[in-house]
Amino acid sequence: MLNFADGLEGIIKVILLNAQTFFMVTCNHVNEVGISNSQLGRLACATSLVLDIFGMFLTFLIYSLISPVLAGDFWHPVMVSGTYIFMFAVCRPLIIHIVSYTPEGERVKDCHFMVILLIVLLLAFLSLQVHHPLAVFLFGFFLPEEPLASILSDKLDTITSCVFFPIFCAMHGFEADFNSLSSNSFTVEIIMTLGVCGKFLGTLVPTMFFGVHARTAISLSIIMASGGLLDIVMLGQFQEQGILSGEHYTTLALHILFCTGTFLPLVKYIYEPSTQYSTIIRQGVITSAETGTLRVLSCIYKEENLPGIIRLLQAFHSTQQKPLPVIALQLIPLTAGRVSLPILAPLHEIQSSSAYRSNLSRCNRTVNALVNLERKTNGTIRPHHYISVSSYTAMHDDICSIAHSQNVSLLILPFHTQWTNDMGFQHASQPIRDVNKMVLEKAPCSIGLLIDRGDQNLAHLSDVYHIAIFFIGGVDDQEALAYTTIFTNHPNIRLSVIRLNSLKPQHNTFNDYNAIQDFQCRCKDNNRVSFVEVTVNDGGETTDIVVSMKDEIDLAVVGRYHEPGCTPLFGLLDRW
């Protein structure tokens, strides 16, 4: 028989804790395994959020209202209700009012930050007095994301992650008493194991019944059955209240650590998010140009990307007979450490969400720029605005998923470095660079990496726009040549094709020759198109040719991959 310090109450609370799935724990798990914005990650987070809200409501109702009233304690329900009323009716409007003094795009003042921090500490103290330690978490969930998330992350992330969290783990570790383990511990472990098996099967059977793939169902079951930090926190609360003895606390903590540490990493090997958009044959520009089904996906990391993207879209010279469908995907990063559900949806579906309202001005400026583009082109460019809110580590999944679901032919990625109007070099963004690298590796379509060094104040094509393609050879250069062929119909565009030859025989010469011949046949009567062949002996001569044209061209187009050891790039591939 179990020797819980408080008898049946202890058994019931341990069973309830084992059955509960915390939203914050699930979000942490899907972030750890890198699937936060995959179909599985969204399903797991949404499911745990529903369970968490339902569980918190029942816990509040039973343990804070009904049980005290039945026991004749009417003061405790009043204290708990008063704490929540004070939290949401007084403190939340006060913090929002303080944040409203911060201009958009600027940081919260230190004095305002200190006031907000004192309010949060006061609420933490009150919530502990009424035995509701998660009340502050719930309070933070209903606060606006920006600019609070960035200032809290900058000010508190280091001390909480590197100081308080290790101390917290060490303190709970010291509470474990391994000498107290006995035969009763085995009985407790059986109860916990049965609970985990119940959660696992309770998730696995319904998901497979509704047609979910076996690997996805198993991964979801493992995530939902895994414990985390909040489970350890609740165990500590039970021990402090005398509900658990040292023996049972040690057994339960070891169970959570073992199960989560053993089974959760298996999700990385069982579930691969890229399977939802991976294809054997990539959708390319060549095929789309021939069939007239060209669709473009343009990614927008920040507002500075818009002028270059708009100029590029105008270069396609779409018409009423051949309009250009454009999916504009605005990418909003989740702040590090923030517990939130990733979002990927059309603009009109999430305009009421907190993530959109937190970035309202930025999103509105992007929307206005796209609406003006559609108006100036008389509807021949038809942008469809999507919003993605996710972490940088999983952002590539959203990009590739949209490209696959919308049957995109060309994906435009802004370069990770932005230049100023005076050609000054801005700081490169390593997270954006990592996202671009993952997209280049996994995207199901052709990719154009846009390096914009143009005037940020000029969002429309000039009277004469000069485009040059440097053709070396290979599949990527053939795709780039087909891409630039689309520009030849624009009356303001001058296109120059510079073919870089070498005396040494190259691979794919026959396919390169066919691509060039097809291009010349298409543009033989177009006096805005020129074709030049240049023989080079190494990468140095190639560089000289490119540099000599830097003041003449507005857009340079090159293929990404070339055969190792090709003469026009000899000496360059080793360095870059």
- If one counts every other C-beta atom within 10 angstroms of the C-beta of residue 284, the result is 17
pLDDT band at 23 (very low <50, low <70, confident <90, very high): confident
Instruction: Quote the tokens at residue 394.
Output: 């999983």
Does the structural domain 295-460 have CATH classification 3.90.1150.10?
A: no
Q: Write down the CATH number for the domain with range 463-575.
A: 3.40.50.620
Spatial separation of the C-alpha atoms in residues 164 and 237, rounded to whole Å: 18
pLDDT at 55: 79
Q: Write down the pLDDT at residue 105.
A: 60
In angstroms, rounded to a whole number, what is the distance separating the alpha carbons of residues 337 and 147?
14
> In the prediction, which pLDDT does 460 show?
61
- Backbone torsions φ then ψ of 398, nearest 5 degrees: -65, -45
Q: From residue 380, how far is each of 369, 462, 485, 488 by CA, in Å? A: 15, 19, 19, 17
For residue 344, list its beta bridge partners: 388
State how beta strands 529-535 and 324-333 pair. Answer: unpaired
**227-268 tens-digit pLDDT:** 888 888 778 777 777 777 777 788 888 888 888 888 888 888
CA separation (Å) from 517 to 199, 212, 513? 64, 49, 6
Q: Residues 101, 104, 105, 109: what is their CA dihedral angle, to the nearest 10 degrees?
A: 0
CB-side neighbour CA atoms (13 Å) of 298: 27
Strand partners, 385: 328
Give the pLDDT band of residue 1 (cuts 50, 70, 90). Answer: very low
Distances 219 to 22, 44, 231, 340, 483 between C-alpha atoms, Å: 17, 10, 20, 20, 41
d(CA 500, CA 518): 18
Measured CA angle at 118 (ends 117, 121), to 5 deg = 85
Strand-pair category, 381-390 with 343-346? antiparallel
Strand spans (E) along 166-322 = 296-300
The answer to whether the bond into 147 is cis (omega within 30° of 0) is yes
Q: Residue 291: its pLDDT value, please? A: 59
**Looking at the predicted structure, is the pLDDT value of residue 139 above 50?**
yes
Distance in angstroms (rounded) separating the CA atoms of residues 135 and 130: 10
Give the per-residue pLDDT at 426. 63
- Residues 486, 292: contact at Cβ < 8 Å? no
Rounded to the nearest integer, the mean pLDDT of the chain is: 78
How sure is the predictor about 282, in pLDDT bands with cuts at 50, 70 and 90? low
Sequential DSSP letters for 227-253: --HHHHHHHHHHHHTTSS-HHHHHHHH
The predicted pLDDT at position 362 comes to 67
Query: Which residue ranges make up each domain of the chain?
Result: 7-272, 295-460, 463-575
Encode pLDDT of 329-373 as tens digits: 888 887 654 555 667 777 776 665 555 566 666 677 788 888 888
| Whole-number pLDDT of residue 8 | 62
Model confidence at 6, in pLDDT bands (50, 70, 90)?
A: very low
The three-class DSSP label of residue 490 is coil
Rounded CA separation 112/97 (Å): 10
Answer yes or no: is pLDDT of 24 > 70.
yes
3-state secondary structure of 343: strand
- Select, from the ranges 72-81, 176-185, 236-245, 283-292, the one with the highest average predicted confidence (pLDDT): 72-81
pLDDT higher than threshold 60 for residue 421 = no
d(CA 350, CA 352): 5
- Evaluate if residue 93 carries a pLDDT over 50: yes
Which of 1-15, 132-146, 164-178 holds the top average pLDDT? 164-178
Give phi and psi for 466, each to the nearest 5.
-100, 120
> Is the pLDDT score of 520 beyond 50?
yes
Mean pLDDT of 9-19: 73
Crossing angle for the helix pair 229-240 and 246-263, to the nearest 10 degrees: 180
